């Protein structure tokens, strides 16, 4: 029996989180769910976006599945996602990007994974007004953080029979910060001679990914570039509605749907729950429930490939509940 914290989130979050819970339970995994919410809706209701009970549950269970949480643009409370990653040192952001048969896209056969350093870089949001009309942000890159994300990427490649790791940077301009990251990645690569290593500048990488994504396998990068590249790559396989994600630390992991909370369709029962269901499969892998995880992935692929029960974003008319039921029937 595994005890897991479930954070439904905002907007469509409660609907898709419930769908993922049903699928995971139906796959045979023995999960005891602790359900506590966080986000914008809770802030409006209670004045606190993340109550202490969420932290207490996370610290007890060490594993969580999370729906999308709204982050205000330009004002308001700080990103809860960033806060959780920093508070619990969830330094690996893991984003598998895999083509799904039945989703018609310009490219087929994409199978890559992004390792994004999750705790530092300019993405941490350390910024201030230096003077009226002039704002500054701090970009921090350390050898320690760069080394552990590089080791994580190479270890993953070695254990999953991956052929190549590509480090993405802007060291031609940011010679100290990105230069330190690149230097560290190169040094780590020498301990894995069986795995090909290359590096590429971020802007060139964006072009390469939209022209020949099949050339890439494991992508290793810093926080901000990883945030951008992971969404770009999700677009290559159909969008964020099909992209699972994990935030993993030394002894805690939070699995999540990284798409938005979609308030415009919240409560209508038409949201696509694929991303959070696949994130749930990643969670089962982490918990050692490999059989259940594989059953879920196969059921999702079979449902989408069947083309008969799809949500509106996939070109169908099925409700969230109907799609979820189809996945369960295909387990």
Question: Looking at the annotation, which residues are catalytic?
Answer: 123, 170, 203, 227
Token pair listed for 116: 């994004």
How much is the CA Rg of the chain, to the nearest whole Å? 20
Cα first-last separation, the chain: 20
Token pair listed for 266: 């919240």
How many helices (H) and strands (E) in the chain? Answer: 11, 12
The Cα–Cα gap between 6 and 256 comes to 10
DSSP 258: -
Bridge-based pairing state of the strands 2-7 and 63-66: parallel
The Cα–Cα gap between 286 and 4 comes to 12
Residue 250 to residues 63, 224, 273: CA-CA distances in angstroms?
Answer: 12, 22, 28
* Number of neighbouring beta carbons within 10 Å of residue 274: 33
Handedness of CA 273, 69, 97, 191 (dihedral sign): negative
Token pair listed for 316: 């169908």
- To 5 degrees, how large is the angle CA 310–CA 254–CA 312? 15
């Amino acid at each position: 029996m595994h005890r897991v914290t479930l954070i439904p989130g905002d907007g469509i979050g409660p609907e898709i989180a419930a769908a993922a819970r049903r699928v995971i339970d139906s796959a045979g995994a023995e999960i005891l769910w602790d359900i506590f919410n966080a986000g914008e809706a809770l802030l409006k209701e209670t004045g606190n976006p993340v109550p202490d009970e969420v932290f207490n549950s996370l610290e007890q269970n060490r594993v969580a599945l999370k729906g999308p949480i709204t982050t205000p643009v330009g004002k308001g409370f700080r990103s809860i996602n960033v806060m959780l990653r920093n508070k619990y040192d969830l330094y690996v952001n893991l984003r598998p990007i895999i083509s799904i048969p039945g989703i018609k896209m310009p490219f087929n056969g994409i199978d890559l994974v992004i390792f994004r350093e999750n705790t530092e870089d300019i993405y941490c949001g350390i910024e201030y007004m230096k003077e009226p009309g002039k704002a500054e942000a701090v970009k921090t890159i350390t050898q320690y953080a760069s080394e552990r994300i590089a080791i994580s990427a190479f270890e993953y490649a070695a254990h999953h029979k991956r052929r190549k790791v590509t480090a993405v940077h802007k060291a031609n301009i940011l010679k100290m910060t990105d230069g330190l990251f690149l230097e560290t990645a190169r040094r780590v690569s020498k301990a894995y001679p069986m795995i090909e290593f290359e590096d590429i500048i971020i802007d060139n990488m964006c072009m390469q990914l939209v022209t020949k994504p099949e050339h890439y396998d494991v992508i290793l990068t810093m926080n901000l570039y990883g945030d951008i590249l992971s969404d770009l790559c999700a677009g290559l396989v159909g969008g964020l509605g099909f992209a699972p994600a994990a935030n993993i630390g030394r002894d805690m992991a939070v699995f999540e749907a990284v798409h938005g909370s979609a308030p415009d369709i919240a409560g209508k029962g038409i949201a696509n729950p694929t991303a959070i269901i696949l994130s749930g499969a990643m969670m089962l892998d982490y918990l050692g429930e490999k059989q259940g995880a594989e059953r879920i992935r196969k059921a999702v692929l079979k449902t989408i490939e069947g083309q008969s029960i799809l949500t509106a974003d996939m070109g169908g008319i099925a409700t969230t509940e109907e799609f979820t039921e189809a996945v369960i029937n295909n387990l």
